[in-house]
């Protein structure tokens, strides 16, 4: 299968069957060389990031194309409009794609539309409203309600670009030539390549973790007393477990998913970091003894990670999000029973939805008067006060840190048990 045919298959899976690109990627690219795999990833991601603009241009040249032609044209238009593929190559590979799919009857249509897109499409780009076109209205409306029009547009704008690769290191050493250190301590590489080929992978010197995803564990570490026994809830694949273990904590990591826990164990093995692991449901699991610190990185809508997962707006619906606050509240209620009097709990989600962040915390505090919100100290997050809300919670948005290349959207609250 050619790279474009793999990209076509992944795009179809996301748009027509709501299948996550990450879940089907390995299977779709097995026959390809590493360089072609990287091209497939870029092609599909760019197509999904710019889908609204691409469809807006296609509809100027064709009305209701059959699905196979529409998806092939989307792959072709992505190359012609956004990846600087020469016109003749963008046209001929798209025609080839429909032929390979046994859709010879569509060759004439695809050829004619691709010529128009490649010829006249770029001129249209300048006048398009990128934020509105490339974000499903139900999502943009939610962000506008939560953060205001300008911030919602800035969030949408941040999703248009490939994110950098962020690494957390076991020690302070630079993990690899060319990495830059962000104010919060994360190391950043402009481009990825094959993860296994980056220096220090085999030696377990670092693990991949977005700069924002590294903050909840830093917040817990900054609030811990002398007792370094901690429980990491919803822990797999283990980015935060590794941070806590590398900082010298005695960690118990809990996750419901056996396969994801196996991944966590593999990751800790590569990193040579210790942790006790338990496969269990955080809604009702109880520790043998109460601990000083608990981190709950709850399952969520993951809308803060769209720049890394541009398929998310197309594989999720608004209704899919509605169930999260109830689940998160149930997990938080049980997590709180694991903490000693005077101990601390960090709740985090990679969701932009306030209902999954502040909403869950405000409801918990209203129902549990022995618990208090503690303001997060700017010092534990590299003095990045712009990440803190008036309440002292963490709220990063993908539009922040534009000068560094952005970061994922995350929410975290630091709570303390009074008695």
Q: Which residues contact ligand SAM (rule: CB under 6 A)?
A: 234-240, 254-257, 260, 281-283, 297, 299
In the complex, minimum distance from the CB of residue 201 to ligand SAM, in angstroms, rounded to a whole number: 17
For ligand SAM, the nearest residue by Cβ is 234
Mark whether 234 is an active-site residue.
no
Tokens of 362: 């405000």
By beta-carbon proximity to ligand SAM, the closer residue of 1 and 327 is 327
By beta-carbon proximity to ligand SAM, the closer residue of 78 and 305 is 305
In the complex, minimum distance from the CB of residue 242 to ligand SAM, in angstroms, rounded to a whole number: 8
In the complex, minimum distance from the CB of residue 135 to ligand SAM, in angstroms, rounded to a whole number: 23
By beta-carbon proximity to ligand SAM, the closer residue of 151 and 263 is 263
In the complex, minimum distance from the CB of residue 333 to ligand SAM, in angstroms, rounded to a whole number: 12
Q: 229 has which bridge partners?
A: 250
In the complex, minimum distance from the CB of residue 150 to ligand SAM, in angstroms, rounded to a whole number: 29
By beta-carbon proximity to ligand SAM, the closer residue of 110 and 296 is 296
Going across the sheet that includes 187-189, the strands are 180-181, 187-189, 165-169, 206-208
Catalytic residue among 234, 249, 300, 350: 350
In the complex, minimum distance from the CB of residue 138 to ligand SAM, in angstroms, rounded to a whole number: 22
In the complex, minimum distance from the CB of residue 340 to ligand SAM, in angstroms, rounded to a whole number: 21
If DSSP states are collapsed to H, E and C, what string results for the chain?
CCHHHHHHHHHHHHHHHCCCHHHHHHHHHCCCCHHHHHHHHHHHHHHHHCHHHHHHHHHHHCCCCCHHHHHHHHHHHHHHHHCCCCHHHHHHHHHHHHHHCCCHHHHHHHHHHHHHHHHHHHHHHCCCCHHHHCCCHHHHHHHHHHHCHHHHHHHHHHCCCCCCEEEEECCCCCCCCCCEECCCCCEEECCCCCHHHCCCCCCCCEEECCCCCCHHHHHHHHHCCCCCEEEEECCCCCHHHHHHHHCCCEEEEEECCHHHHHHHHHHHHHHCCCCEEEECCCCCCCCCCCEEEEEEECCCCCHHHCCCCCCHHHHCCHHHHHCHHHHHHHHHHHHHCCEEEEEEEEEEECCCCHHHCHHHHHHHHHHCCCEEEECCCHHHHCCCHHHECCCCCEEECCCCCHHHCCCCCEEEEEEEECC
By beta-carbon proximity to ligand SAM, the closer residue of 40 and 294 is 294
> Active-site residues: which are they?
350
């Amino acid at each position: 299968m050619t790279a474009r045919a793999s990209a076509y298959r992944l795009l179809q899976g996301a748009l027509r069957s709501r299948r996550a690109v990450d879940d089907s990627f390995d299977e779709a690219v097995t026959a390809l060389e590493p360089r072609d795999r990287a091209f497939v990833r870029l092609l599909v991601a760019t197509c999904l990031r710019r889908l609204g603009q691409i469809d807006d241009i296609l509809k100027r040249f064709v009305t209701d194309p059959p699905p196979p032609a529409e998806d092939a044209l989307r792959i072709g238009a992505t190359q012609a409009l956004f990846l600087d593929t020469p016109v003749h190559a963008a046209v001929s590979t798209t025609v080839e794609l429909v032929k390979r799919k046994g859709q010879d009857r569509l060759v004439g249509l695809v050829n004619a539309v691709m010529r128009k897109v490649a010829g006249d499409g770029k001129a249209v780009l300048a006048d398009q409203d990128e934020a509105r076109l490339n974000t499903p209205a139900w999502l943009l409306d939610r962000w506008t309600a939560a953060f205001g029009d300008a911030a919602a547009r800035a969030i949408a704008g941040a999703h248009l670009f490939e994110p950098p690769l962020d690494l957390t290191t076991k020690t302070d050493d630079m993990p690899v030539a060319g990495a830059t250190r962000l104010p919060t301590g994360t190391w950043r590489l402009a481009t990825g390549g094959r993860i296994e080929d980056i220096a220090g992978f085999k030696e377990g010197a670092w693990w991949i973790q977005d700069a924002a995803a590294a903050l909840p564990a830093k917040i817990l570490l900054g609030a811990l007393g002398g007792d370094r026994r901690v429980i990491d809830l919803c822990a797999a694949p283990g980015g935060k477990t590794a941070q806590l273990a590398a900082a010298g904590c005695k960690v118990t990591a809990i996750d419901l998913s056996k396969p994801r826990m196996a991944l966590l164990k593999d990751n800790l093995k590569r990193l040579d970091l210790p942790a006790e692991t338990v496969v269990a449901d955080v809604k009702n699991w109880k520790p043998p003894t109460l601990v000083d610190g608990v981190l709950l990185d709850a399952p969520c809508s993951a809308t803060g990670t769209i720049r890394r997962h541009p398929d998310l707006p197309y594989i999720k619906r608004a209704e899919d999000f509605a169930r999260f606050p109830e689940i998160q509240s149930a997990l938080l209620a049980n997590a709180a029973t694991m903490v000693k009097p005077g101990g601390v709990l960090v709740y985090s989600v990679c969701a932009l939805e306030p209902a999954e962040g502040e909403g869950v915390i405000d409801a918990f505090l209203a129902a549990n008067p022995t618990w208090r919100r503690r303001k997060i100290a700017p010092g534990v997050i590299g003095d990045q006060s712009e990440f803190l809300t008036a309440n002292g919670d963490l709220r990063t948005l993908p539009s922040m840190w534009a000068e560094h290349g952005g970061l994922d959207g995350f929410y975290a609250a630091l709570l303390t048990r009074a008695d």
